[in-house]
Structures are given as structure tokens and as C-alpha cells.
Amino acid sequence: MTMPKIARPVRRRGQGTLTRMDPLSAAGAWILRTRWLVRAPIAVYRAGLGRLLGSRVLMLEHRGRTSGRTRFVCLEVVERSTPDTMVVVSGFGERSQWYQNLRARPECFVSQGRVRRARATARFLSDGEAATILARYQQRRPADWRMLKAALERATGRSVTHLPMVELVLGPGPR
């Protein structure tokens, strides 16, 4: 078994400091850029087997902002302050399609574990709230954070300094 490479800072013009990643981070970045792999958990949820993915992953059902068509995305839950609230992070920033769609129409559905299509409303967290939650996540899951950060930096080509977050509040919402 070969040892992973030690991460070293790398400077790229206009992009701040990036980190060279070990092979695991490179694989994570490749997965994030490979549509069919990122979308694979959606089929698991739609088959009614979402509980197999545990409580850290949810499927978000939302409407396209221009097409009005139903869209799906699976996201990691970074914090759950109450049973009826879940915080998810947009690893690709505010340009993510699901994030922009929720901006246009915050009513959505959430499936997680045994729960299927629970009504929810999106609330966009301020930069301060997001930074606080991200700091807690880094403390609770330091190894996960290092891997996620490295994979996101490699996939986006930018240093991860700020990640927009959305709180999903279960309850009355769309029909």
C-alpha cells in the first residue's frame, strides 16, 4: 500500500492558496465532477431505500426556477439543531443550480432516512451563521472536513474560504 502524498500549499494566480491532494482527495474531486456518480443516491431514495444512506444525507426535491420542472439533489446534512431543521451546504457556492432554484422558490420537499417527501421551506443563512456552523462541523468531523475541503478545492480550482448554507425547516410548505 502506498502512503498518500503530504498536502503542500500551491499558489495559482488569482486563486489564492490551493492544496495538492492525496489520491483520496483527487478521487473525491473526480466524483464531484462526475454527474452520474453524484446523482446515484437519487435513485436509491426514489426506490424507497433512503434509510440505507443514513442520517447524514438527504434528498432535496425542488422546482427549476425557469422550467418549473421537479429537480432532485442529494446533499450532506452538516447540522441538525432540532428534529425539524437541517442545515445543508452548497459546496459549489451560490452558483449551484439547486441553490439558485431555492432562492427563486424556497418551498421544497426533503427525504431522509425513513422520511419521504416531507414539506420544507429553505432559509438562507447569513455569512456569520454559516461560518459558525462550519466551525462546529470542522470540530466535530475534522477528517471529513479535510477531505471535503481538499476535494472541493480540486473540483472548483479555488480555495474554500466561505460556503453558503441553507437551513431546511420541515413543516407547512408546497402541495
Domain that holds residue 163: 18-170
The total of structural domains in the chain comes to 1
pLDDT tens, position by position, 96-150: 899 999 999 999 999 998 888 999 999 999 999 999 999 999 999 998 888 888 8
pLDDT tens, position by position, 26-63: 665 555 555 665 666 777 777 787 777 778 889 999 99
69, part of any domain: yes
24, part of any domain: yes
89, part of any domain: yes
What cell numbers appear for 60 in the block? 432535496
CB 6 within 8 A of CB 18: no
12, part of any domain: no
Looking at residue 37, its pLDDT comes to 59
59, part of any domain: yes
Cα separation of 162 and 94, whole Å? 10
Provide the 3-class DSSP secondary structure of residue 35. helix
Phi/psi of residue 140, nearest 5 degrees: -70, -35
Q: Residue 130: name the closest of 169, 167, 159, 80 by CA.
A: 167
